[in-house]
Chains A and B, each alone.
Chain A
Amino acid sequence: MPGFVETFFNLEIMRAALPYLLQGLGTTLLLVLLVVPLGIAGGLAVALLYRSPRRRVRWPLILYVDFFRAFPPLVLLIFLYAGLPFAGIEIGAFTAVAIGFFLNNSAYYGEVLRAGIESVPRGQWEAARSTGLSAPRAMLWVVLPQAVRNVLPDLVGNTLEVVKLTSLASVVALPELLFAARQAQSLTYNPSPIVLAAIIYLVLLWPFVRLLSRLEHRMLVSR
């Protein structure tokens, strides 16, 4: 049996697989740039609509959020990718991922932003309005900045989860980082490309995990 280093950290194979993995990383980053803003926009819509005094507006929103918190994103993705074609709706892997992640992420971001907006005292809104700011301006310049500050750790944490979630796209053959690594592994019969992919994820996400830890501890101390 070949040695541990030769098996898992085979530099020759890693070097050969690197261009392919970097291409996968490019797709992963593209996916992140697409699904994070979409998810935040959807979540903001959920959070703002939730301010409605009408119960028949708030109720479906809670249902929407709780449904997607209960529904595994992979199941949603498979349903869109493998189920919809039976109804004559052919959507590619990229569209399936974009729609599935939008539904899932907007629920999670919605819950975070809703909690943020609720954490800002009502007086802030009233004071802003009474100085003559219009409702959208009061929301944009007075309430939202404080709301975002109050839930910043959750917002960063959720975004981290979204980035990690993009690895699910490999299951529907979207050539992102994990998919590229699996391909390289099956071509070389060696697990080094997967180890390399894991290292790339670590290098990419570790700074954000550290940042998150610091934010969380600061929130604890400030209480």
Chain B
Amino acid sequence: MNAWDRFAATFLDTDVMARYLPDIAAGFATTVWLALLVVLAGLALGLALALLRSLRFRPLSALIVLHVDLFRALPPLVVIVLLYFAMPNAGWSPSGFVATWLALTLVLSAFAEEIFWGGILSVPKGQWEAARSTGLGFLATLTWVVLPQAIRVTIPPLTNRTIAITKGTALGSVVAVSEILASAQTAVSFSFNPSPLTLGAAAYVVLFFPVVLFGRWVETRFAWKR
């Protein structure tokens, strides 16, 4: 048996893979579901915070900046551990799924707010003034003039950041969410063979590689025209 055969027998054991495929597939579904919920809630909250900040009401802006700084400084895993292991002491015991979802949503909202806010700032003041002088109200100006221009410059950084944070769903394995990584690890300890881990790794590549390629396409599509 040469080295490759030995490697294949250990890491690519098809029997073991076939046995645990349903578990990994269930984990895959959980990861996709968790990722979608994080992206939807995180981006929506981030946009909402950026819009509130555009009101330029100082106390509110200060609170938003506090939220953004806090969740940009704290490692996501620390937030998850705080929610899952510390919150029960306050009488609230979130499931691993909820703890992971909430932590990643808060982190994504912080980064997204900063990117959306940067986008809003990047729209020249003249655009505001011109729109307001034609008789559009504050909200109409924001919706129809500023945001369409702001969103355009935010899309590339937002895509990259969203991918990076969504990969964090793997952190759910630490707090007993049976997503891909946790299912694979359980399967490894039952079969005493690392092939499920290979399968899990492949599942991540299948899930995220197209997203990264999409991100690259977006980057060139929405590139600054100078």
Residues of B within 8 A of A216 (CB): 114, 118
Closest to A208 in B: B73
Asked if A217 contacts B77 (CB within 8 A), the reply is no
Interface secondary structure of B, over-half rule:
helix
Interface residues of A (CB under 8 A from B): 1, 4, 7-8, 66-67, 69-75, 78-79, 82-83, 86-87, 160-161, 164-168, 170-171, 178, 181-182, 185, 190-191, 194-195, 197-198, 201-202, 205-206, 208-210, 212-213, 216-217, 220, 223
Asked if B118 contacts A75 (CB within 8 A), the reply is no
**Closest CB in chain B relative to A219 CB, distance in Å:** 9
Asked if B208 contacts A70 (CB within 8 A), the reply is yes
B164 interface hit (Cβ, 8 Å): yes
| Additional A-B contacts beyond A79-B201, A191-B89 (18; CB < 8 A) | A69-B163, A71-B201, A71-B204, A72-B168, A72-B170, A74-B173, A75-B180, A78-B197, A79-B194, A87-B11, A164-B76, A181-B81, A182-B81, A194-B81, A194-B85, A206-B69, A213-B114, A223-B122
Q: How far is the CA of A217 from the CA of B73 in the complex (A)?
A: 18
Please tell me which one of the listed residues B76, B82, B163, B200 contacts residue A75 in the complex, with CB atoms under 8 A apart: B200
Q: How far is the CA of A209 from the CA of B6 in the complex (A)?
A: 48
Closest to A1 in B: B91
Q: List 8 A-B contacts (CB under 8 A).
A: A74-B173, A79-B194, A83-B11, A86-B10, A161-B164, A166-B75, A202-B70, A209-B72
Closest to B180 in A: A75
Asked if A170 contacts B10 (CB within 8 A), the reply is no
Chain B interface size range: 35 or more
Asked if B188 contacts A201 (CB within 8 A), the reply is no
Residues of A within 8 A of B201 (CB): 71, 75, 79
Q: How far is the CA of A197 from the CA of B164 in the complex (A)?
A: 24
Asked if B122 contacts A165 (CB within 8 A), the reply is no
Residues of A within 8 A of B85 (CB): 182, 185, 191, 194
Closest to A70 in B: B208
Asked if B11 contacts A86 (CB within 8 A), the reply is yes
Residues of B within 8 A of A78 (CB): 181, 185, 197
Asked if B173 contacts A67 (CB within 8 A), the reply is no
Q: How far is the CA of A4 from the CA of B11 in the complex (A)?
A: 49
B209 interface hit (Cβ, 8 Å): yes
Top 4 nearest A-B pairs (CB, nearest first) are A191-B86, A70-B208, A164-B75, A72-B170
Asked if A87 contacts B7 (CB within 8 A), the reply is yes
Please tell me which one of the listed residues B81, B114, B212 contacts residue A66 in the complex, with CB atoms under 8 A apart: B212
Residues of A within 8 A of B130 (CB): none
B1 interface hit (Cβ, 8 Å): no
Q: How far is the CA of A201 from the CA of B198 in the complex (A)?
A: 33
Asked if A72 contacts B204 (CB within 8 A), the reply is yes
Residues of A within 8 A of B122 (CB): 220, 223
Residues of A within 8 A of B40 (CB): none
Residues of A within 8 A of B72 (CB): 160, 209, 212
Please tell me which one of the listed residues B89, B114, B185 contacts residue A82 in the complex, with CB atoms under 8 A apart: B185
**Closest CB in chain B relative to A35 CB, distance in Å:** 14
